[in-house]
Amino acid sequence: MPETSQFDAVGTSGTQPNTDASPSERVRTACAYGNYEQLTAAVEEDPDLLSTPDEMGYYPLQWAALNNRVGIIAYLIDKGVNVNRADGTGQTALHWAAVRGSLLAAEALLGNEADLRLRDGRGYTACHVAAQYGQTAFIYMVALRWRADVDSPDVDGRTPLHWAAYKGYANTLRLLIVLEASLTLGDREGCTPLHWAAIRGNSEACTVLLQAGAGSVLNAPDSTGMVPAQLAREKGHRFLAHYLEEYASRHVNKSRHWTQRAAVSWLLNTQLCPLIWALILGLLAALVYKVVLHPAYGPPSSAMLAWTWICVLLASAGLVLLYKTTTSDPGFLPCRDSEQQSKGKDENGPQYDRLKALDSAVLRAGNWNQLCVTCKIVRPLRAKHCAVTNRCVAMFDHFCPWVGNCIGAGNRHLFALFLWLEMGAILVAAGLAAARLRWGGQNMGEGAMTWTAVFLVVDVFLGLSVGALSVTQAMQIAKNTTTNEMANWTRYKYLHGDDGTFRNPFNRGCWQNCSEAMCGKSGTAVQLHPESIELTSLLKMEEGQNTNGLPYRQ
């Protein structure tokens, strides 16, 4: 593809024919800027101009494809132009459409028998070019609708995944990985996509690749004998090199880690849950035996006994809900492999299953972050991959080490009820301890007062933490938001208003929000991206895309 500087003389409007320009230059300008009148006037003078390259060796159809001029493309095809004609570099109009991600132009070309398998002089298909320019939508369209091969190597053995990693286009990486592009394939230099991401210092690309399972190549040397961490350090990316070395160390010791995990699996799975059980039961025992029934205070009144029973019942009910929160499914989404095993193979084969799973309105709207490279699925809105459980969770709120489980669509209501019941028990217990200190009697000993004071301090301290969580959960349930969304809303397009500020499209009013949440519903019924959204909605600017209307090459 030509350099931008070669077209400094081309006008930016393209609305009036340049009488001083050559006929081929007028045709090129007309095709690039969609000037139908200028094009037809030039063709009337010389019809051969449509199949004649300009001074730089490029054809009119390529200029129209680059700039997404669908009307011009239709006119050229109607005039018998060959859609697969290549220029001197071997690139066709489809290659040029891939530079800008011109979806409508690509659709018009492919609908008229343009060949996605054609390669230029360097072995690039249109998918290679799209990956080099970060045109995720283009790759999505040609893979989903035209079954393009997104994992073929060029003459140097590099696939589109290599190029996306080298250029640092994380969204393109996500899509290619979910389309089952190879993470371990080395090029002629022995470099995998992770090697190239490390060479360029693309930390986000490295993270995406490692999340997808590229850790197996962390200790794989290239043709020079260097691993990704060494390549990153040699290029001056010290922090990335340190990160890769740490990850490699954990990956090498993974088998030993899992052996240890098997020995203490219960403790690791439950995290800090046993501690919170011991704390609640210990405080209950201290309340009963060191505050209410302590001999120094004398026999408790019937009212104090009644409130004590209320406190014990609230705390016990909270523990039941804690157990349910810990052991229940928080809303784990099935991974692609498990989903295919449960449903069986489709008659069209596994590749068709993968593409069918990607036919999502969420992706058609350009939300590439909804692709999970670990589970190989399209996450629904409000879902997130949990790094601790290594699973995607529907309506992910957060991972709570105190309950040893994720909080999501399946157990969020249980978690909230647990907090509220325990908060009620804490308040009642604090009232009982304060009453004992205030009206415990004249003859109570220092030991009884010390026990009660210590209990009250611990109870109040615990109440501050539980109270903050209780209020936060109550506010988020009332507004139908989650902890993850409030902390990371800038990353989610569906939470952005027209002016870029936070907008909650799931808020249906306090009463309905609460009723849905406490019934265990996910609260995702709002259809933000209906199935009628066309592929052309993906024409939003992708990273690395030029905006001045002129072709360019990085």
- DSSP per-residue string spanning 386-417: ETTTTEEETT--EEETTTTEEESTTTHHHHHH
* pLDDT confidence band for 546 (50 / 70 / 90): very low
Residue 133 near residue 544, CB atoms below 8 Å: yes
How much is the pLDDT for 60? Answer: 95
Residues 454-461 have a mean pLDDT of: 94
Is the pLDDT at 549 greater than 70, yes or no? no
**Between 222 and 547, the higher pLDDT residue:** 222
pLDDT score of 263 more than 70: no
Q: Do residue 304 and residue 420 come from a single domain? A: yes
pLDDT of residue 353: 65
pLDDT above 70 covers a percentage of the chain that reads: 82
- What CATH number did the domain enclosing 88 receive? 1.25.40.20
Containing domain of residue 471, as a range?
Answer: 273-328+411-479
Q: 356 and 376: one domain?
A: yes
Strand, helix or coil for residue 123 = coil
Q: Are residue 395 and residue 421 in the same domain, yes or no?
A: no
Mark which of 73, 98, 130 sits at the end of a domain.
130
Q: Are 308 and 292 in contact (CB under 8 A)?
A: yes
**Range with lowest mean pLDDT among 200-209, 308-317, 336-345, 452-461:** 336-345
Least confident range from 91-100, 166-175, 440-449, 496-505: namely 440-449
Instruction: Select from 56, 52, 53, 67 the least CA-distant residue to 12.
Output: 67
The candidate with the shortest Cα–Cα distance to 286, out of 448, 441, 462, 443, is: 448
Q: What is the pLDDT of residues 68-126, one digit of tens each?
A: 999 999 999 999 999 999 999 999 999 999 999 999 999 999 999 999 999 999 999 99
Q: Identify the band that residue 523 occupies on the pLDDT scale cut at 50, 70 and 90.
A: very low
Q: Is residue 40 part of a domain?
A: yes
**Residues 302 and 423 both lie in one domain:** yes
98: nearest Cα among 141, 135, 148, 58: 135
Catalytic residue among 392, 400, 514, 519: 400
Q: What is the pLDDT of residue 483?
A: 95
Task: For residues 319 and 433, state if they share a domain.
Answer: yes
The 10 Å CB-count burial string (b at 16+, else e) for 429-440 is bbebbebbbeeb
Query: Final residue of a domain: which of 96, 130, 164?
Result: 130
400 is catalytic: yes
Report the pLDDT value the prediction gives residue 252, as an integer from 0 to 100: 57
Same domain, 309 and 367: no
pLDDT of residue 500: 86
Q: How far apart are CA 476 and CA 522, in angstroms?
A: 13
- Whether 117 and 65 map to the same domain: the answer is yes
Residue 551 has pLDDT above 90, yes or no: no
pLDDT of residue 221: 95
- Residue in the block written with tokens 């308040």: 427
Asked if the structure places residue 205 within a domain, the reply is: no
Residue matched to tokens 């028990």: 425
Distance CA 72, CA 52 (A): 16
Terminal-to-terminal C-alpha distance of the chain: 10
- Token couple for 367: 């939300």
pLDDT at 491: 84
Residue 39 is assigned to a structural domain of this protein: yes
Q: Are 358 and 179 in contact (CB under 8 A)?
A: yes
Residue 425 inside a domain? The answer is yes
Amino acid at 377: I
Q: Count Cβ neighbours within 10 Å for each residue of 41-57 and write b for 16 or more, e otherwise.
A: ebbeeeeebbeebbeee
| 444 has pLDDT over 70 | no
Give the model's pLDDT for residue 13.
37
Quote the pLDDT of residue 16. 47
| % residues pLDDT > 90 (the chain) | 63
Banded model confidence at residue 432, pLDDT cuts 50, 70, 90: very high
Same domain as 67, residue 2: yes
pLDDT band (50, 70, 90) for residue 442: low
Same domain for 458 and 428? yes
With beta carbons less than 8 A apart as the criterion, state whether 102 and 32 touch: no
Global confidence as pTM: 0.78
The pLDDT value given to residue 253: 55
Residue 45 has pLDDT above 80, yes or no: yes
Is residue 461 in a domain? Answer: yes
Is residue 386 domain-shared with residue 462, that is, in the same domain?
Answer: no
Average model confidence (pLDDT) across the chain: 84
Residue 67 is assigned to a structural domain of this protein: yes
Q: How far apart are CA 304 and CA 225, in angstroms?
A: 76
Q: Which of 140, 134, 138 lies closest to 167 in space, CA to CA?
A: 134
Q: What is the pLDDT of residue 2?
A: 35
Are 95 and 126 within 8 A, CB to CB? yes
pLDDT at 267: 56
- pLDDT of 380 > 90? The answer is no
Residue 501 lies in a domain: no
Domain boundary among 479, 496, 525: 479
The kind and range of the H/E element at 377 are: strand 377-378
Domain co-membership, 362 together with 474: no
Q: Are residues 42 and 101 in the same domain?
A: yes
Please give the Cα distance from 377 to 335 (Å, whole number).
7
**Residue 534 one-letter amino acid:** E
The answer to whether position 379 is within a domain reads yes
Domains: count for the chain: 3
What's the pLDDT tens digit per position in 319-364? 999 999 999 999 999 887 655 544 444 445 556 666 777 888 888 8
pLDDT for 1: 37
